[in-house]
């Protein structure tokens, strides 16, 4: 799938497809699974590795010798870019919004260990941070370097088009007629790529997006724009990808990055029932959404469903350091 596009293999094979037997016992559902993109080997794993396979493919095509990436201090994309650069022998410059914290934990600490160059830009908004990242890449080019700026949404989305194929292949090998997939709803590339892949393969799936950042209309608009760019990039248009899409707004709570009682409970539930971890910005609210769907019948008990764990677990350390009440006993 998409073999005509430049890609560098960073995953060393499919990520695990695991049955959630204890969660089944608690919820009464007959077939619950997790796609564990959080346990990919490189850089402590996460969904951005799939995007990086195509970003690095494009960087290699352009002869890049340094990767430039921008994000918040707890950005998983920045961590995995730094890890990929280290693995491939490239330099890496990370531009963080905000001021340097008093202590460095989680992803920021890992970025230091990985040897990335780090600049703090002060309290800038996302658009300004993007402009500053482009300016930094231009400065590097003027100095004789060959930078590649990480972040093209359509290129990055290709990784989850392949993920759709990988997941369904694993499900079929396990004898599972997968009917529902649950993903975080956020910036759009992961969601758009997965929906594009499902449409391209004509998969009979319902893709549930649990919004952690945007309203439903804005999220769908973002996804539609990225799907259009993917179609232009690949030359493979798809049909009505929207028929597979369901957006759930019940877990957003007070907003992006702000935990809710349900998401805090979901972190405990996942750890104590299945022995793996969630973080409080993306995966906890998504898992809480899964639990709500199982409870209200949006995912029927007899229809197999999969939670896609998009990773980001290192961010949990910084989140708890900032707010110890996140792990208080119920």
Catalytic positions, written as ranges? 75
Burial annotation 48-82 (CB, 10 A radius, 16+ → b, else e): bbbbbbbbbbbbeeeebebbbbbbbbbbbbbbbbb
**Cα–Cα distance measured from residue 80 to residue 88, given in angstroms and rounded to the nearest whole number:** 12
Would you say how long the chain is, in residues? 330
């Amino acid at each position: 799938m998409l073999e005509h596009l430049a890609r560098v293999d960073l995953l060393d094979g499919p990520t695990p497809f695991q049955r959630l037997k204890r969660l089944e016992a608690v919820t009464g559902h007959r077939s619950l699974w997790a796609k564990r993109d959080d346990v990919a080997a490189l850089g402590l794993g996460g969904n951005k590795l799939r995007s990086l396979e195509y970003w690095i493919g494009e960087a290699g095509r352009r002869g890049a010798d340094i990767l430039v990436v921008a994000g918040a201090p707890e950005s998983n994309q920045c961590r995995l870019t730094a890890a990929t650069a280290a693995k491939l022998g490239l330099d890496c410059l990370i531009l963080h919004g905000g001021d340097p914290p008093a202590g460095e934990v989680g992803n920021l600490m890992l970025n230091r260990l990985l040897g990335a160059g780090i600049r703090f830009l002060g309290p800038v908004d996302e658009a300004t941070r993007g402009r500053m990242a482009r300016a930094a890449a231009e400065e590097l080019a003027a100095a004789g370097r060959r930078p590649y700026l990480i972040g093209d949404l359509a290129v990055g989305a290709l990784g989850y088009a392949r993920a759709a194929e990988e997941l369904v292949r694993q499900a079929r090998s396990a004898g599972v007629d997968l009917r529902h997939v649950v993903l975080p709803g956020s910036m759009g590339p992961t969601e758009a790529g997965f929906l594009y892949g499902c449409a391209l393969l004509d998969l009979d799936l319902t893709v549930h997006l649990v919004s952690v950042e945007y309203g439903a209309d804005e999220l769908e608009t973002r996804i539609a724009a990225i799907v259009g760019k993917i179609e232009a990039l690949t030359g493979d248009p798809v049909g009505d990808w929207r028929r597979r899409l369901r957006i759930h707004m019940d877990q957003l709570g007070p907003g992006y990055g702000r935990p809710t009682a349900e998401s805090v409970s979901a972190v405990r539930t996942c750890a104590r029932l299945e022995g793996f971890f969630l973080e409080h910005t993306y995966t906890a609210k998504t898992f809480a959404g899964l639990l709500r769907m199982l409870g209200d019948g949006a995912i029927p008990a007899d229809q197999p469903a999969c939670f896609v764990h998009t990773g980001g677990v290192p961010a949990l350390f910084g989140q708890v350091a900032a707010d110890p009440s996140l792990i208080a006993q119920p």
